[in-house]
């Protein structure tokens, strides 16, 4: 049995250009879906997977993320004084415990591989998760929890995967698949954003990873890949012959909140899951379709 996964890295340095002007001053990770910022869904999913330490790789202009996970002294005291204990208890129920949230900065936008590498000293040499916050995942017990459970059986490295239409494969990391039992797929190769006509399959990596600490010396070389960026996928590909490497078809759904339509769909889907707004939201949506 492999080590439990205790730490998760959240690369949150991206500019969010596809959601401008909303993201001009507001970090894209703080965009609300119903009444929670996108980043809180990711943290709650990680916590449901047993993650104890949350490592955020930020950049300039992202300090609202730190504030969101901090103790809100003035707000909490005011809620207490007004007797709004329900609201206060709700906030305290998800607030990370002191010392479990760490921040480091990616000083330059050099790619996802570089962002993860920036967290190397905080992770150390142990298996860890990477959570791309733009990909909002729904489902129970959660995508990352399913991956942690699978990792206990396989060890090595696991990425969440999804089939996409062939004409979309050039937007993703793509698998060269081996043995496939319908849920777990052996990974024989990985290629970042291949041209549509040479992609090895239409099975793509989505924003959840469990990686071994062996990824860090590979990222250290800082080789540039697709788009001139230091790609996580390229270093993962080098691990394939050395360690077990699998893709997991997860049971929930993914919404790409980095894009307008994905974000709008996430709001509708999450709203329909919420007893306090579901019926009203259904009435509203009906008026427009
Ligand atoms: C990143 C990864 C890519 C992965 C995708 C999932 O790409 O590099 O391999 O398939 O996330 O959302 P990005 O969306 O940052 O271009």
How many domains does the chain contain in total? 1
Ligand 1 center to 134 CA (angstroms): 10
Share the mean pLDDT of the chain.
96
Q: 132, 164, 176, 266: which to mutate for ligand 1, most atoms within 8 A of CB? A: 132
Query: What is the whole-number distance in angstroms between the Cα of residue 172 and the centre of ligand 1?
Result: 5
pLDDT at 48: 96
pLDDT band per the 50, 70, 90 thresholds, residue 4: confident
How many percent of the chain have pLDDT more than 70? 99
Residue among 75, 76, 77, 69 at smallest CA distance from 94: 69
In a domain, 188, yes or no: yes
pLDDT category of residue 3 using cuts at 50, 70 and 90:
low
Domain presence at residue 276 = no
- Residue 2 in this model has a pLDDT that exceeds 50: no
Q: Which ligand 1 atom is the nearest neighbour of the CA of 204?
A: 10
Residue 55 covered by a domain: yes
Whether 280 is in a domain gets the answer no
pLDDT digits (tens, 9 = 90+) for 195-232: 999 999 999 999 999 999 999 999 998 889 999 999 99
Residue 129 has pLDDT above 90, yes or no: yes
pLDDT in tens, 75-123: 999 999 999 999 999 999 999 999 999 999 999 999 999 999 999 999 9
Residue 135 exposed, middle or buried by CB count within 10 Å (0-12, 13-18, 19+):
buried
Does residue 232 lie within any of the structural domains?
Answer: yes
Phi, psi of 246 (to 5 degrees): -130, 155
164 burial class (0-12, 13-18, 19+ CB within 10 angstroms)?
middle
Select from 175, 200, 207 the residue to mutate for testing ligand 1; criterion: most ligand atoms less than 8 Å from CB.
Answer: 207
User: Which residues are within 8 A (CB) of 151 and not within 5 positions of it... i.e. 6 or more apart?
Assistant: 2, 5, 127, 158, 210
Ligand 1 pocket test target in 171, 174, 200 with most atoms within 8 Å of CB: 171
Q: Which CATH number characterizes residue 135's domain?
A: 3.90.550.10
Q: Could you tell me the pLDDT band of residue 244, with boundaries at 50, 70 and 90?
A: very high
Q: Which residues line ligand 1 (CB under 6 A)?
A: 112, 132, 135, 172-173, 192, 204-207, 231-233
Q: Is the pLDDT of residue 59 over 60?
A: yes
34 within a domain of the structure (yes/no): yes
Tokens of 66: 């730190």
For the stretch 41-53, pLDDT in tens is: 999 999 999 999 9
- Nearest protein Cα to ligand 1, atom 1: 172
Closest atom, ligand 1, to C-alpha of 227 = 16
- Kindly report the pTM of this predicted structure: 0.96
Q: What is the span of the domain harbouring residue 105?
A: 7-258
């Amino acid at each position: 049995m492999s080590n439990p996964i205790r730490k998760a890295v959240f690369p949150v340095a991206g500019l969010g250009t596809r959601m401008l002007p909303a993201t001009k001053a507001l970090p894209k990770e703080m965009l609300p879906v119903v009444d929670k910022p996108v980043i809180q869904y990711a943290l709650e999913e990680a916590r449901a997977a047993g993650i104890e330490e949350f490592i955020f790789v930020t950049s300039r202009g992202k300090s609202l993320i730190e504030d969101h996970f901090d103790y809100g002294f003035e707000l909490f005291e005011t809620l207490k004084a007004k007797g709004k204990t329900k609201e206060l208890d709700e906030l305290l129920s998800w607030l990370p415990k002191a010392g479990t949230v760490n921040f480091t900065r990616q000083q330059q936008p050099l790619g996802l591989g570089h962002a993860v590498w920036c967290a190397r000293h905080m992770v150390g040499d142990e298996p860890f998760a990477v959570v791309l916050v733009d990909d909002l995942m729904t489902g129970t017990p959660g995508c990352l929890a399913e991956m942690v459970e699978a990792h206990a059986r396989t060890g090595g490295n696991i990425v969440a995967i999804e089939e996409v239409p062939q004409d979309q494969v050039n937007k993703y990391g793509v698998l060269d698949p081996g043995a496939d039992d319908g849920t777990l797929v052996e990974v024989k190769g990985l290629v970042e954003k291949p041209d549509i006509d040479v992609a090895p399959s239409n099975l793509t990596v989505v924003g959840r990873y469990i990686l071994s600490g062996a990824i860090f010396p590979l990222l250290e070389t800082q080789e540039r890949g697709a788009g001139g960026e230091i790609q996580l996928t390229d270093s993962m590909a080098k691990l394939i012959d050395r360690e077990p490497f699998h893709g997991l078809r997860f049971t929930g759904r993914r919404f790409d909140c980095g894009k307008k339509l994905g974000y709008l769909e996430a709001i509708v889907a999450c709203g329909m899951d919420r007893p306090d707004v579901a019926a009203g939201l259904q009435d509203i949506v009906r008026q427009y379709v």
